Amino acid sequence: MVDVTGVEVPGDYAGVLADLKERVRQARYQAQRRVNTELISLYWQIGRVLVAQTEQAEWGDRVIDRLSADLRAEFDGAGGFSVRNLKYMRSFARAWTTPDQFGQQAVAQLPWGHITVLLDKLDDADLRNWYAFQAVTNGWSRAVLEHHIKTVAHQRFGTAPTNFDRVLTPEASDQARQLTKDPYVFDFLTIEPGYAERELEQSLVDKIQHTLSELGAGFSFVGRQVTLAIEGEEFVIDLLFFHVEQLRYVVVELKVGKFRAEYAAQLELYVRLVEDQLRRPQHQATVGLLLCTDKNDRFVKYVWPPTPSRSRCASYDLLPVAERPRCRPRPTLSAHSRVER
């Protein structure tokens, strides 16, 4: 085979090149992670020194100002030793007080910018650890982390009414429940009051990256207004996603206004259509998500189909969540909230 430069290359060259590129990317990523871990460990150690000196000696702001200047003079070109950053390091060491608390938590794997967000936005230790774990597990950027803290994600994840535990195996039920939050907050949309469902659909698709971020890690967009037919009659799904980690389709139906009984049957039909026409043997069971402006959970549970169902209902909000107290009730944390070394 001759390439565009006129050089004759073996037939397997492209495959070998692709493999080597991936190896280089993985090596660079691992190296960056190691560097980041060492940097965060250094910042924590500096913070511990500042905590000890602040508590035992006359180390006020002026001394920290002098320390910042001396460190920057000694390590010219190295960032991170500003007065503000040194005070962050001290707060960091106060928030995670012992080597075990620091080293065995997900925070040790986060970039420094993420940690400063946790320190600025949250006072509760369990909440900091919960958001740190979610950020590491789901690969949240700093902006996404700020968004989820702002919209109190710890109160929304896994809260939508479901009957997954009745119709799926325990493992599959747990996985499906991970897809759930309530409400969903689409505060990144700019829609005029009185919007129609189609306008909401289009706005979510136009800002698909923001939409996927709010839905959660692992979602991949399949299509809008996906048409499936049975016996010559066509049915149109508002939004269709595929969860690449759980290997399952997720059918999303959008409704403007309160939950109505007929919405449940409609979503159930769409889930069954996807199961019959799109799902492959290697895929897990399809689930459905009905998003309404408002709902009553008792009413939802009362009217939801009594037959086996893999759907759930949640509300959504287009407005930013109002400012709430910094100290909130502690979430129920699973064992996964700690990252074992």
Q: What is the DSSP string of 69-117?
A: HHHHHHTTT--S-SHHHHHHHHHHHHHS-SHHHHHTSGGGGS-HHHHHH
> Of 43-52, 100-109, 223-232, which range is least confident?
100-109
Question: Strand (E) positions, the chain?
Answer: 184-185, 219-230, 233-243, 248-258, 287-294, 311-317
Q: Do the beta carbons of residue 303 and residue 295 sit within 8 Å?
A: no
Kindly tell me if the per-residue pLDDT of 170 is higher than 60. no
Q: Evaluate whether the domain defined by 155-317 bears CATH number 3.40.1350.10.
A: yes
Kindly tell me if the per-residue pLDDT of 326 is higher than 50. no
Query: 33 or 238, which is more confident?
Result: 238
| Mean pLDDT score, 134-151 | 80
Q: Per this entry, what is the length of the chain?
A: 341
> Of 7-21, 71-85, 146-160, 180-194, which range is least confident?
180-194
Q: Do the beta carbons of residue 270 and residue 253 sit within 8 Å?
A: yes
pLDDT-based confidence at 284, cuts 50/70/90?
Answer: confident
Q: What is the DSSP string of 262-278?
A: HHHHHHHHHHHHHHHHT
- Taking the C-alpha atoms of 31, 144, 332 and 182 in order, what is their torsion angle to the nearest 10 degrees? -150
Neighbouring-strand partners of residue 292: 255, 315
pLDDT of residue 184: 60
Q: Give the count of alpha carbons within 13 A of 301, CB side only.
A: 7
pLDDT of residue 332: 42
> Of 4-13, 123-132, 259-268, which range is least confident?
4-13
pLDDT of residue 92: 94
pLDDT digits (tens, 9 = 90+) for 288-315: 888 877 777 778 777 765 555 566 777 6
Kindly tell me if the per-residue pLDDT of 248 is higher than 50. yes
In whole angstroms, what is the distance from residue 217 CA to residue 85 CA? 31
> Of 89-93, 165-169, 183-187, which range is least confident?
165-169
pLDDT of residue 315: 63
- Taking the C-alpha atoms of 202, 203, 205 and 206 in order, what is their torsion angle to the nearest 10 degrees? 110
pLDDT-based confidence at 191, cuts 50/70/90?
Answer: low
pTM above 0.85, yes or no: no
| Mean pLDDT score, 257-279 | 86
pLDDT of residue 182: 52
Q: Boundaries of CATH 3.40.1350.10 in the chain?
A: 155-317
| Mean pLDDT score, 186-191 | 64
